[in-house]
Amino acid sequence: MFLWNLIKQDRGGQVLLALLALAIIIVPILNSLPSDHPLHIPTYMVAVMGKYLTLALLALSVDLVWGYLGILTLGHGAFFALGGYVMGMYLMRQIGDRGVYGHPELPDFMVFLNWDSLPWYWMGLDQFWFAAIMIVLVPGALAYVFGALAFRSRVSGVYLSIITQALTFALMLAFFRNEMGFGGNNGLTDFKDLLGFNLQARETRVGLFVASAIALALGYLLCRAVTQSRLGKVCVAVRDAESRSRFMGYRVENVKLWVFTLSAMIAGVAGALYVPQVGIINPNEFSPLNSIEIVVWVAVGGRATLYGAVAGAIFINYAKTWFTTELPDVWLFALGAIFILVTVLMPKGIVGLLRRKESNT
Amino acid sequence: MSQASLLNEIKDKNRVFSFMQTQASPVLNVDKQILLYLEGLSVSFDGFKAINDLNLYIRDGELRCIIGPNGAGKTTMMDIITGKTKPDTGSAWFGQTINLLELDEPAIAQAGIGRKFQKPTVFESLSVYDNLVLAMPDERKVFSLLFAKLNGEQKDRIDEVITLIGLKENHAMRAGSLSHGQKQWLEIGMLLMQKPRLLLVDEPVAGMTHQEMDRTAELLVSLSGSHSVVVVEHDMDFVRQLAGKDRTVTVLHQGSVLAEGSMDQVQNNRKVVEVYLGE
Ligand SMILES: Nc1ncnc2c1ncn2[C@@H]1O[C@H](COP(=O)(O)OP(=O)(O)OP(=O)(O)O)[C@@H](O)[C@H]1O
Ligand SMILES: [Mg+2]
């Protein structure tokens, strides 16, 4: 009942959730068809689609802070990557003695570095429940500390965007270093299994796809619950007239801080689901360009609608996959062109275009 | 805080750390019948003295009009009272107990000072109704906002205000698409929802028709008594209407008080005439 109230007046959200439910049922069936069947979906495609869904969840988290709160974050890739690294560490610990060096506990790269014991921050990550907590806690804690510093000192606008870029850039440099204990520039890879399921197995891939679809649906409902609450209205008020909301007695910095932290946690979950499906996490995920790209997805899809962010993320990433296989050199130009066309011709994104069509007819 | 005392705090585990406590302002006290004290205030921007040794007292329940030429410092004075600008010298007290200079904007608003801006500012992409909901003083903490629901009493209050400001038919409209005059009304409505003890109203009738002006004057007069109201306005007809025979009018000039008295006294004051004609 509560859930239905959330999306009762939200056509886009209804469509999105219906499509996700459909995908959860149809994709496993089509994947299990014989491979010469015309409707068969190969397993690698399932993994690619699962990856898109995690990126859509990431876009959702950016829309929550950029669309509704007006914080143009250019560092959300960092929270995504941190969630991914936590998952990567869990997956590394699952390898056990099956690594190249056969060490019972240490991941290969640590043996290679002549380390003789696990660093303290790798402790406990062989337990899934602990990793699951850290997946939201680590990005959330970083966002909280960052936000407490930035929002209390009232950094906003372009300056804030630049610091978020600096944040993800600094993390990238740190994670590139071997002595940090995160595998340096090779990152973490060669994963074997997750919760005992072989990551190469068809069933596991389908399972991860379904988990991503469920996570996206839940993430959507959570963001929707926040934006529909009075807190969500305060967010919009802060976005539109920050000082006015202060003079009304709202502690703007606390509103920003908590919503930003929540958003970082969602991004962390997205990263954690992304890593087992692509099979690797390395410091390039922290690249400042990645974070800018997420904002482009949201802008293309349509800001402050939530489902627009999902549409934008899937559309752009599908285009990216197509271009990078067919016309690899053209992709960055194409992305730039899409971004410019959208901002000039359809400031409300793809979603805005659909809405206009709807109201015309 | 010294290191030793911080250490003591940390050792006592049942203690809420002082740096975690939200600053709670003391209870308002107006035993001396004065709601607002501004004494010896000065503030300069890049060497230019926008406020210069300003002294002003507002009685509890009083309706005070403040006039003055452009750049006299009227808006800057409101900025100081509401915590937006910190003065270089002087003091500002709300009643006898609340030192406004120690509080920030949200704390001052929560202490009971509401403000209407010179340029009407409403939350443009929210509906008229939601603008009023947000102005209600009841919920301000992040987590209670997440679960906040309107109760019957609150709905009644919103209905009352929305009718008073004549926007009942427009309740679902985006505030951004209201006319300038309607935005002014909405902002006044938001002030009413906030139930402040002191209302600071900066140029409320700009862009209003004569009928609307009359209604605004009526409303502001009816608010005085239970609230203190400070009105800054350029429109002399409106000020005359508000001040009547016996309310006090203050003339600001170059950041300090040039004259104070009834409308008639002020208008016949030689210095005031000079300032206004010499402009
Ligand atoms: N933040 C600021 N930085 C620099 N100068 C400022 C600032 N705020 C105000 N001033 C200057 O201080 C002076 C007083 O401005 P203020 O807005 O208080 O005047 P006012 O009496 O409200 O005038 P008006 O009737 O035009 O609204 C003006 O000369 C203005 O330019
Ligand atoms: Mg002014």
User: Taking Cα atoms as reference points, which of A59, A65, A82 lies closest to residue A291?
Assistant: A59
Query: What pLDDT is attached to residue B72?
Result: 92
What residues in B contact A252, CB-CB < 8 Å? 106
State residue B52's pLDDT score. 93
Q: Residue type for B267, please?
A: Q
Q: Quick check: B92 and B80 in contact, CB under 8 A?
A: yes
Q: What is the mean pLDDT of residues A27-53?
A: 91
Percent of chain B with pLDDT over 70: 90
B127 to chain A: closest CA residue: A233
Chain A residues touching residue B121 (CB < 8 angstroms): 241, 244
Using the predicted structure, report yes or no on whether residue B62 has a pLDDT greater than 60: yes
pLDDT of res. A264: 97
Q: Quick one: average pLDDT of B54-63?
A: 94
3-class state of residue A302 by DSSP: coil
ipTM above 0.90, yes or no: no
| Cα B110 to Cα B137: distance, rounded to the nearest angstrom | 7
Mean pLDDT of the region A133-152: 95
- List residues bridging with A193 in a β-sheet: A198
Around ligand 1, the residues with Cβ closer than 6 Å are B 45, 50, 68, 70-76, 118
Whole-angstrom distance, CA of residue A194 vs CA of residue B158: 54
pLDDT mean over B125-134:
95
Considering only CB atoms, B105 lies closest to which of A230, A247, A258, namely A247
Q: Which residues, in sequence order, are CB contacts of A172 under 8 Å at separation 6+?
A: A283, A284, A286, A287, A288
pLDDT in tens, A223-271: 999 999 999 999 999 999 998 999 999 999 999 999 999 999 999 999 9
Q: Which pLDDT belongs to residue A170?
A: 96
A258 touches chain B (CB under 8 A): yes
Comparing alpha-carbon positions, the chain B residue that sits nearest to A240 is B123
For residue B25, pLDDT beyond 70? no
- CB atoms A247 and B109 under 8 Å: yes
Closest chain B C-alpha to A157 CA, distance in angstroms: 19
Is residue B129 a part of any domain in this protein? no
Average pLDDT, chain A: 91
Q: Confirm if B268 and B276 have CB atoms less than 8 A apart.
A: no
Determine whether the interchain pair A244/B84 forms a contact, defined as Cβ–Cβ distance below 8 Å.
no
Are B146 and A240 inside 8 Å of each other by CB?
A: no
Residue A360's pLDDT is 54
Q: How far does residue B64's CA lie from ligand 1's centre (Å)?
A: 20
A150 HSE (CA, 13 A, CB side): 26
Pick the atom of ligand 1 nearest to B252's CA: 21
Cβ-contact A303, A346 below 8 angstroms? no
Residue B213 maps to a domain: yes
Q: How far apart are CA A250 and CA B190, in angstroms?
A: 14
For residue B129, pLDDT over 90 is answered with yes
- CB atoms B135 and A248 under 8 Å: yes
Strands B89-94 and B34-45: antiparallel
Closest Cβ–Cβ partner in B126, B140, B194 for A233 = B126
pLDDT, tens digit, 9 for 90 and up, residues A55-83: 999 999 999 999 999 999 999 999 999 99
Once rounded to an integer, what is the mean pLDDT over residues B7-18? 52
Collapse the DSSP code of B261 into the 3-class scheme (helix H, G, I; strand E, B; otherwise coil) and give the result: strand
| Residue B105 near chain A (CB below 8 Å) | yes
pLDDT (tens digit, 9 = 90+) per residue, B160-205? 999 988 899 999 999 999 988 888 889 989 998 988 999 999 988 8
B225-249 burial code (b ≥16 CB/10 A, e <16) = eebbbbbbbebeebbebbbeeebbb
Q: Looking at CA atoms only, how far is residue B194 from chain A in angstroms?
A: 8
The model's pLDDT over B216-275, given as tens digits with 9 standing for 90+, comes to: 898 899 888 888 999 999 888 899 999 888 899 999 999 999 999 998 898 888 888 888
The pLDDT of residue B140 is: 84
CA-to-CA dists, residue A12 to A27, A52, B100, B200, angstroms: 22, 18, 47, 43
Query: Is B190 an 8 Å CB contact of chain A?
Result: yes
In this structure, are residues A219 and A49 in contact, taking their beta carbons and an 8 Å threshold? Answer: no
* A70 CA to centre of ligand 2 in angstroms: 28
Rounded to whole angstroms, the Cα distance separating A126 from A192 reads 13
Predicted confidence at residue A361, as pLDDT, reads 46
Three-state DSSP class for A207? helix
**pLDDT score of B12 more than 60:** no
Partner-chain contact A255 B82, CB within 8 Å: no
Residue B188 lies in a domain: no
- Atom of ligand 1 at shortest range from CA of B69: 25
The answer to whether residue B186 neighbours chain A at the CB level (below 8 Å) is no
Instruction: Note whether B123 contacts A247, CB cutoff 8 Å.
Output: no
Q: Which ligand is nearest to the CA of B117?
A: 2
Nearest CA in chain A to B148: A230
| A310-350 residue pLDDT tens | 999 999 999 998 998 888 888 888 888 888 888 888 878 88
Q: Which residue has the tokens 């002294």?
A: B55
Q: Which of B106, B121, B122 sits opposite A251 (nearest CB)?
A: B106
pLDDT(B207) > 80: no
Q: Is residue B184 part of a domain?
A: no
pLDDT tens per residue across span A163-191: 999 999 999 999 999 889 899 999 998 89
Instruction: Say if residue B3's pLDDT is above 80.
Output: no
Q: Which residues of A touch B100 (CB under 8 A)?
A: none
Q: What is the reported pLDDT for A196?
A: 86
In a domain, B191, yes or no: no
Rounded to the nearest angstrom, the distance between the alpha carbon of A231 and the centre of ligand 1 is 34
Best residue in B80, B113, B134 for a mutation probing chain A (most A CBs within 10 Å): B134
- As for how many domains chain B has, the answer is 1
**Phi, psi at residue B48, to the nearest 5°?**
-90, 125
B77 alpha carbon to ligand 1 midpoint, in Å?
9
Task: Please check the confidence at residue A274 and state whether its pLDDT lies above 60.
Answer: yes
Give the HSE-up count for residue A342: Cα atoms under 13 Å, Cβ half-sphere: 25
Residues in chain B closer than 8 A to A247 (CB atoms): 82, 84, 105, 109, 114-115
Mean pLDDT of A273-279: 95
Instruction: Decide if A231 and B134 are in contact by the 8 Å CB cutoff.
Output: no
Q: What is the pLDDT of residue B1?
A: 43
Summary mean pLDDT of chain B: 87
Shortest CA gap A129–chain B (Å): 26
Nearest to B224 by CA among B59, B95, B89: B59
Three-state SS sequence of A161-182: HHHHHHHHHHHHHHHHCHHHCC
Question: What is the average pLDDT across A114-136?
Answer: 92
SS3 label, residue A124: coil
Say if the Cβ atoms of A240 and B117 lie within 8 Å: no
The residue whose CA has the least distance to atom 29 of ligand 1 is B71
